[in-house]
Structure 1
């Protein structure tokens, strides 16, 4: 799954806004002003075998699941510039199946929505 498909999947979530509070090259995805993902060019502009830049996706994650995903997938590392206990960085190098990346995005979105006040949570869930 490349950065374009990831971006398209992220913005299809209900009430999502994309901001750039950190830098022009870092997209921050928020639901109701709460961050659930970031998407940016990887560290040092690393490229794949085809010369394409590798992108990094930060996602919120349950702490136990975060550790498990890091054990299963070499392209999942502790959250870059994030709380390493609660965030993972997914290196979009093509080694993780699209369905798994979508599941991780869905979980990140759900974790953030679940911690919102009931009124806000219900407004978002109506769109699912």
Structure 2
């Protein structure tokens, strides 16, 4: 998977918006105004952050030590960094995105700040 594959997959989901709230190199996908995926446009290898159930996050990090890491610049309890280095197949990568989206989409919408 590459940046465009991930982008297309994310924006195809319901109520998703893409933004650049931090800088021009970090693409952020939100559902109902809340982040569910952050994607670096410059990292090599490609990596992205996704939200994850805390217990599942610990389990996945143990199974995939060099591929699923505690969330870079995020809450280590609730976010994972996924390194797209060939260890995880496309199905597993998409499962990480789907899990993050589901966690955030079921939450309450946030108020838009003016």
| TM-score (ref. length: structure 1) | 0.79
Q: Which structure has the larger Rg over C-alpha atoms? A: 1
Unmatched tracts of structure 2, length 5 or more = none
**Shift of residue 11, structure 1, vs aligned partner:** 1.1
Alignment partners' CA distance in 2, 1:7 and 1:92: 14
Equivalent in 41, 51, 58 of residue 60 of structure 1: 51
**Shift of residue 9, structure 1, vs aligned partner:** 1.0
Alignment partners' CA distance in 2, 1:2 and 1:98: 10
| TM-score (ref. length: structure 2) | 0.88
SS of the residue aligned with 2:49?
strand
- Whether the 8 Å contact between 1:20 and 1:28 is mirrored in structure 2 is yes
**Shift of residue 2, structure 1, vs aligned partner:** 2.1
Counterpart position of 1:116: 108
Equivalent in 61, 69, 72 of residue 80 of structure 1: 72
Alignment partners' CA distance in 1, 2:90 and 2:60: 15
**Shift of residue 6, structure 1, vs aligned partner:** 1.3
Alignment partners' CA distance in 2, 1:114 and 1:32: 9
Counterpart position of 1:10: 10
Alignment partners' CA distance in 2, 1:7 and 1:24: 15
1:71-121 CA distance string (max 9 Å, x none):
11121100000000000000111221110111111110010112226xx9x
Unmatched tracts of structure 1, length 5 or more = 43-52, 121-128
**Shift of residue 3, structure 1, vs aligned partner:** 2.0
SS of the residue aligned with 1:103?
helix
Query: Number of residue pairs matched?
Result: 108
- Whether the 8 Å contact between 1:2 and 1:94 is mirrored in structure 2 is no
Structure (1 or 2) with the greater helix fraction: 1
